[in-house]
Structure 1
Amino acid sequence: MTTAGENTSETSPWRGGVNGHLPTPRQVPEGGASAAETVAAGDQDKAEKARLKQQQRVTIAGYAGLVVVVAIAAAMSWHGLVGFAERQLDMTSPWSYGVPVSLDVAAMLCGFLALRSVISHDSAAGPRFLTLLLVAGSAWANYYSAAHMPGDGDHTPAALYFGAMSILSWFLWDVVLRQIRRSMLKTIGAVEKPLPKFRAVRWIRYPRETFAAWSVSVRFGLTRPEEALDRVWETYQAQEEEQEIKQLEELERLPEGISKRGAIELAFKALKEIDAPAAVEWCKERGVEVDRSYAYEVARKIEPPQLEAVV
């Protein structure tokens, strides 16, 4: 049995909301955000996540390919070092495998130590130098072994190939270390931003101006070409104004037919300040007599924009 004024439905029109509760801030968005904007933001987030996943797949595929290449190069180097141990050092199995272990595996171990130093933000110069020495020894052993293989014929191509395999594996590993190091430096903001790129047409048509903009970018760390060009143009404009003022200061006589107002304005520009008495003396030295009261009147009539143009 219900009494008057009661509502048997779950939503009460007198209390508002659902089950008599006020809506939460999530139910009533503040700031008037529309449903279309919410949907657009969600689509943008989904697109960004998809782009990141695609980038991760490409990166993983690239590193997988790099590992395969390094493994094949290391296998070639291992084969050449085993042959060097058997033919040149007269070592038999399993002792012949000690040569690639003492060179290539040791170089790999030093490479991992270098990687550990890079991740720990320590200097990796020592491990990288040891890696280079071991790789150089491995390359020489591979070259010598291939060059003195039994049989007639020219063995130079084989010697160069087997020697290059050790250098290639080291070079690829060093590239990986450099990329990791640079990525870590970027995360802490220790890498400079890239320099701006100017079109080839600008380099050909305005080489001096473009080189000046590039130099300004290097000095002040600018990345936008228009910002660098603006600084160069401002510098050129300041130099032209300074040259004009210098010419006015060296001017012995004012041009014939110049008005007194023009003479006073030239005096202000040459003096770099609105000083009526000094302007009168400046004009007098150059053969133009101007009353001091007129100079004050001209100074009062100069508006702020005109004042910046004059000075």
Structure 2
Amino acid sequence: METPLHPPQTTNAVPFKWHSRRSFRKDLRKRPLLYLLLVPVVAYFITFKYVPLYGEIIAFKQFRLADGIWGSKWVGLEHFERLLHSSDFLKIVRNTLLLNVYALVFGFPAPIVLALLLNEMRVEWYKRLIQNLLYLPHFLSWIILGMIVIGLLSPSVGFINHALKAFGMEPIYFMSSNFWWPLVYVFAGIWREAGFGTILYLAAMSAIDPHLYEAARMDGAGKLRQMRHVTLPGIRSTIALMLVLQMGRMTDVGFEQVWVLTNPMVTGVSDVMSTYIYRLGLVNLQYSYTTAIGLFQSLIGFALVLTVNRIIRAMGERALW
């Protein structure tokens, strides 16, 4: 009697969903304290991320405080039509995208380069000292950092312009120049966040098998070749993941940084979505219109995340999902 190539499946197999649910309950009873630590995080996201989604409905209404959300008049897509035909809106979208493109080109590789350099340091105390100095700006507010940047670039008392004068060059008005201001914005952001951003990449580098470096050294590879052929491939999935998250912020520019560094001379390049929403929404009380802008901004960011995530996954890298 011939044996079947594929033996019949038993009818008492446990469904996958029920098995997963039972495993979760078993794990919950086994380690309740670990799940208890998740409660504040889940409560935070529900309170500040999901509950406020209810207010997005005013993007489709002519919202008045006296009438409330449900009592205000429905206007459909009127606010979205207004923003798509607004010359001011097109300008702020252009400024927002340009600043984010500059930040992506110059700012995204910065923590990777710093992490590569820190990973090669062998004197432990010196490495920790440099790390602490690199992390420090992240914990300072933009009010402090902005004043430091403005002071350093001042045409009269700033250190940078004093150095230029020492070499016989004319002082540069960095903060009032439409050419220099975006560069100042980007490099100020790098100064604040690049050091702190090395944490993830250093953690990924620590998981690389040391035998790979030994094999590379035996093949005659120097430090640069080890970085190129061992370290960078080892953190490639982390880089891809961070790139997906970065693309989700392409339509968003931090309000504090722009607000501290901007001035009336450079509003042509510094007026972005966050400042535009603040000016119209909170100052001029155009709540419905600015909510429509915020919703449009979120949808574009979500579309970019989906697109880049799909591209990363098609390239064979580990993506968000």
* TM-score relative to the length of structure 2: 0.23
Larger Rg over CA atoms: 1
Structure number with higher relative contact order (C-alpha < 8 Å, ≥ 6 residues apart): 2
